[in-house]
Each structure stands twice: as structure tokens, then as C-alpha cells.
Amino acid sequence: MLAGVSTAAVARRWNAAGLLSGARKASGPHPRPLATWRAETVRALLVNPRNAAIRTLNGEKVGPAAWPAIVPEETFQAVVRMLTDPSRRPAVPVGQRLLSGLATCGKLLDGAACGAHIQAGRNEYHGPTYRCASNGHVARAAAPVDEFVIGLIVERLSRDDAADLLLDDTRPDVDALRTEAQAIRARLDDIAAMLGEGELSREQARTANARARARLAAVEAELADAGRVDVLGDLVKADDVRALWDSSEFGRARQRAVVDTLLTIVLHPPGRGARRFDPATIETTWKIGP
Ligand SMILES: [Zn+2]
């Protein structure tokens, strides 16, 4: 999922492999039969905190579990954020251009950038284009823009220090964050128990709970950031970054996930009558690393 595969694609893959979705524990006389996977059932499975050894009760995370995690918590949090973030763009069809839905429109409207997503289009003069989804603000040839962005990424990931800067620096934090998240969940358990035992008033418990949950949300967000770095994985370590990027097994979905992990991209109008590609009209900001 973090590498950019859709839930629908995962469902197809599992169904093709003969894996069926499990019946829920029989809560009545009629347990649900095994069924083929759909995008929604894959999604429901992936956002289940039990995958990261987090116990839940009525949908609330209540504490560390007695069973081992099947994915590290940061990976789990990154997937949850990806699948539940309301600002997340809708899933993109196969064959999508590199920056569709990732870059935003930088056309100034009353002093502020338009901000709408950029989508792929086509026109007679330019061939494939990128254009503002809300309005025709920006419309420019797509290929030079793609090539410019790929060049930036390949150059950055080809540097000797790429792995250090992008991976190692974030790794030590992850253990600490994971431990802290578990400690907070244990604390939530304690608060509930202390309320039950009468050691805390309802008001005290509510305050303690709110504080713990706020901190937990912050820690989970940091874990999600760390987990997203997994997308880079072998790309950072490759001897020939460009060759791996272009290889068929890497694929467009994965390329898009890498762009989304590394860069914020704003496309500005190329300028009236501009015939030459001007890199200054592509505003890029690195999301991670110096
Ligand atoms: Zn626009």
C-alpha cells in the first residue's frame, strides 16, 4: 500500500491467489461465509490496529496487546493515514501520469496560489499536458515537467549520503516513538482502571484521558511520517537510481508514491507565449531530509 498499490489491486491479487476474507467470529447463529475480497474489506483489514499489536475496544485503542505485531507500528500508522486522511486525493487509475493529483496549481488569484490539483490532459499543440483541475489556469507540456522532477529525485537519491539523510536519521526516533505510543496506551488502560476503582473522579479521568490521547495522536502522526520513508527503500540503496526508477517492476504507482513522499510541487503558468521550458516555473520543496 505504501508503495502506491490500490486497495482494489490488493483485493484482486488476494482473490487470484485463492485467499478468502475470513468469517467474523459467529456473533449469532449465522456466521458470515468466506467471501472474496473487495477494496472496502481490504481497507477495513489494513486499518485494524490489531495488526500493530494495539488492542481496541469499541473502536477505541485501549492498550498494548499480548500478541506480536505483524507490521511495525510506523508502517501501520502510515497506511492508516494514507487510507483515512480526508484530504487525500481519490485513488488514481492505472496509467496515471507522474504528477496528476500530486502537484498543485500555483496561479496567483488575489495574491494567493490557486492550490487546486493538477491533472493530466492533452492538447494538439503540446501533446500530453498538465492543467489546473479547477480552471484552465496552468496548461503546459507534461513531459519536460516530469523529466525535471525525476531529475531532482534521482540526483538527490544518488548522493552518497542519501541513505544516511533519508533513512538512518529517522530510524532511531522510531523505536522511541513506538515505545512512547505503547506507554501512552498502557496509561489509558490505567486511567480506565483507576476510574473503575474510584481512584480518579470522572472529571480527573476525562482530563487525563484527553491529555494522553492528544499526545498519542501526535506520536502516531510522527510514526506515520517515519513509516512513509519505507517507500524509498531499495531506491535509496540502488547503484543506479535512474535504472531502477525506469524499470518495469518499479512502476508508475511506486514512482508516484516516491514523489509524494519526497516533494511538494507547485506548477506555475509557463508564461504567455513561452516556448522554452523554464525550471523556475516549477516550485519544489523537499518534505524530508535536509
Ligand atoms: Zn488553478
Q: Which pLDDT tens digit goes with each residue over 48-84?
A: 998 988 888 777 777 778 888 888 888 888 888 878 7
| Residue 84 Cα to ligand 1 middle (Å) | 26
In total, how many domains does the chain have?
1
Q: Which pLDDT tens digit goes with each residue over 212-267?
A: 999 988 888 888 777 766 777 778 878 899 999 998 778 787 888 889 888 999 99
Tell whether 21 is covered by a domain. Answer: no
CA-CA distance, 285 to 287, in Å (whole number)? 6
Residue 89: the pLDDT is: 47
Cα distances from 1 to residues 29, 227, 246, 255, 281, in angstroms, run 35, 12, 20, 13, 32
Q: Which pLDDT tens digit goes with each residue over 202-223?
A: 999 999 999 999 998 888 888 8
Tell whether 203 is covered by a domain. Answer: yes
| Residue 118 Cα to ligand 1 middle (Å) | 8
Tell whether 131 is covered by a domain. Answer: yes
| Residue 286 Cα to ligand 1 middle (Å) | 22
192-217 b/e with 16+ CB inside 10 Å = b?
A: beebeeeebeeeebeebbeebeeebe
Tell whether 86 is covered by a domain. Answer: yes
| Residue 152 Cα to ligand 1 middle (Å) | 24
| Residue 114 Cα to ligand 1 middle (Å) | 5
Tell whether 23 is covered by a domain. Answer: no
Tell whether 241 is covered by a domain. Answer: yes
Domain span at residue 230 reads 7-16+38-286
| Residue 232 Cα to ligand 1 middle (Å) | 30
| Residue 116 Cα to ligand 1 middle (Å) | 5
Whole-structure pTM value = 0.61
Tell whether 25 is covered by a domain. Answer: no
Residue 121 contacts residue 282 (beta carbons within 8 Å): no
- For the cut 50, the answer to whether the pLDDT of residue 1 exceeds it is yes
Tell whether 59 is covered by a domain. Answer: yes
Q: Which pLDDT tens digit goes with each residue over 139-153?
A: 888 999 999 999 999
Residue 73 contacts residue 64 (beta carbons within 8 Å): no
| Residue 288 Cα to ligand 1 middle (Å) | 26
